[in-house]
Amino acid sequence: MARIAFLGLGNMGRGMALRLVHAGHEVRVYNRTHAKAEALTGSGVEIAASPRAAADKADAVFSMVGDDAASRAMWMADDGALASGLDAGTFVIECSTLSYDWVRELAHRVTSMGLRYIDCPVTGLPEAAAAGKLTLLVGAAEADMEAVRPLLEALNDEIIYFGKVGTGTAYKLMVNLIGAIQIASIAEGMVMARKAGLDLEKTAYALAKGQAASPQVVRNVKRMVADDHDQNVVFSGKLRVKDARYGVALARGLGIEADFGQTAVDAYARLAELGIDDQNESNVIHAIKIKDS
């Protein structure tokens, strides 16, 4: 049994923290919105008043938050986890989807303190997090990867180890940028279908059977037909545009223009302009309709 701190209890983090409890670990949690932490009362977790308090004497500290700013606050603030005096060799496991530059900066800070940094973004929906069936996309020193593997067992169906720190994040940003392009292009296609007089349910069915299908394309095209973007928000437009921006920044840092990626960013950015970026990412179709009209 390990002493684990878990920072961030959103749609993904909550399920992940509970999986670690079910695996027999001693888990102390912190969330900026205290009510989300309080909702876990009675589940076997201990609720901490700050990231620093959560991380005190921990063997490993996990973080699962929305963006760079939230991650920076969790780790680097005066009451952040790195201020807790973690013992040398403690695992710092960052599962959030963050910018490549911030991950490398954080990893440098962590390793300079004698701690072990695990770059560990995940792929999978909240139900996969709750069931311990995520895919973990890991970048870490090889020895650290093998040492941390037992702690990760409760969370995943599979670990894909890409190599050194930063490679897990690089892959996650690449694949999420691909996803943003796919979903935006499907939205544009569905607007075309509507304009051409096609039956949208039949169009969605045909897409699911064809070469353009992927799990997220199938999932989102059904939401576009149902027009229920404000219900059961699986992944918001706000999170999708954040990931896509981080992906474009990485691409440009590598000397790639990322024209398709930028087009997807622009489409999702319109959701914020319309005040609906907290709805499901499938509502990018609404932004395309507005431009089209």
Report the Cα–Cα distance between both ends of the chain, in Å, rounded: 59
H-state helical runs in the chain? 13-22, 34-38, 51-55, 68-76, 100-112, 126-131, 142-152, 167-195, 200-209, 215-226, 237-253, 259-273, 284-292
CB 126 within 8 A of CB 11: yes
**291 has catalytic annotation:** no
Which is nearest to 68 in space by CA: 92, 30, 100? 100
Please name the amino acid found at residue 151: L
- Strands 122-123 and 134-139 come out as antiparallel
Interhelix angle 167-195/284-292, nearest 10 degrees: 50
Select which of 57, 133, 164, 172 is catalytic: 172
Which two tokens mark 145?
């990867």
Distance CA 147, CA 152 (A): 10
Closest CA to 151 of 165, 138, 164: 138
Category of 84 on φ-ψ map: left (φ > 0), alpha (ψ -120 to 50) or beta: alpha
Taking the C-alpha atoms of residue 184 and residue 53, their distance in angstroms, rounded to an integer, is: 42
Of 26, 24, 28, 35, the C-alpha closest to 51 is: 28
List the catalytic residues: 172
